[in-house]
Amino acid sequence: MGEIVLDQVTKTFGHVQVIPPLDLQIEDGEFVVFVGPSGCGKSTLLRLIAGLEDVTTGEIRIDGEPATHTAPAKRGLAMVFQSYALYPHMSVKKNIAFPLKMAGLPQSVIEEKVENAAKVLNLTDYLDRRPGQLSGGQRQRVAIGRAIVREPSAFLFDEPLSNLDAALRVNMRLEISELHNSLKTTMIYVTHDQVEAMTMADKIVVLNAGRVEQVGSPLDLYNAPRNLFVAGFIGSPK
Ligand code: ADP
Ligand code: MG
């Protein structure tokens, strides 16, 4: 499960409509990238899907049900924040276990889920360390681990790699793609980086001032950009 539908969704802050009526369909298991320049509404759109913002008009449906809950976890979604959102005073194990503790799961179940997540993310040897004793990439993996343990129907990433250095970014891109291949869970990934979009996405949604300029596979967008904005942004020779 992990189908997400946006039906004529709008968002207005004060008097400014930052998302004009927008339709979008995300299939179960897809890796979808929202790409566009800074300020175009990527984070707002992700926060609307997560339930961290209310839609002004329109409807979001998750697996066919109107999404009325106002927390990602209640919508069955996990938001992956940047690595600096970790608790510095807690071990890796406790950071990953935190959402499960909050949910009141028994300790034995928590242990097992944390172990499994650590295995998937190559963090088994680091469970007793504090975030400050980890590299940037390891910290980012802990942030992802905290999402994995809840077994969400979709993962939502908002520029998760933007404060990592270039080499590490390339590495983490591959790791997140591999994670998608093994979990096969819907992922929505927000970035302003065309290269990330082109290399990671099954489907790219190009945004410009809150509007969807084009939706398509990386190849579609490269070969047949619908307009100059898409062509310029995707870096096609056209
Ligand atoms: P992006 O993530 O693509 O950089 P955002 O979604 O953060 O863009 O912002 C889109 C627009 O909405 C921007 O003009 C921003 O200033 C505005 N905006 C975002 N959040 C708020 C808010 N809470 N209140 C008022 N304006 C906001
Ligand atoms: Mg943003």
Please report the pLDDT score of residue 6 as a whole number: 98
Please report the pLDDT score of residue 104 as a whole number: 94
Residue-wise pLDDT tens digits, 177-191:
999 999 999 999 999
Mean pLDDT of the chain: 93
Residue 83's pLDDT band, with cuts at 50, 70 and 90, is low
- Ligand 1 atom with least separation from CA of 36: 3
Report whether 70 contacts 51 (CB < 8 A). Answer: yes
Please report the pLDDT score of residue 95 as a whole number: 96
Q: Is the CB of 191 under 6 A from ligand 1?
A: no
The mean pLDDT of 113-122, rounded to a whole number, is 93
Please report the pLDDT score of residue 238 as a whole number: 40
Residue-wise pLDDT tens digits, 2-29:
999 999 999 999 999 999 999 999 999 9
Q: Atom 20 in ligand 1: which residue has the minimum CA distance? A: 44
C-alpha torsion sign, points 30, 13, 60, 22: negative
Q: Is the CB of 11 under 6 A from ligand 1?
A: no
The Cα–Cα gap between 94 and 148 comes to 14
Please report the pLDDT score of residue 166 as a whole number: 87
Pairing, β 154-158 against β 186-191: parallel
Report the separation in Å between the CA atom of 41 and the middle of ligand 1, taken as the mean of its atom positions.
6
Asked whether the ipTM of the predicted complex exceeds the cut of 0.90, the reply is yes
Report the separation in Å between the CA atom of 166 and the middle of ligand 1, taken as the mean of its atom positions.
26
CA torsion angle 147 150 153 159 (round to 10): -10
Please report the pLDDT score of residue 165 as a whole number: 86
Please report the pLDDT score of residue 162 as a whole number: 84
54: pLDDT strictly greater than 60: yes
The Cα–Cα gap between 41 and 44 comes to 5
The mean pLDDT of 211-229, rounded to a whole number, is 95
pTM of the shown model: 0.93
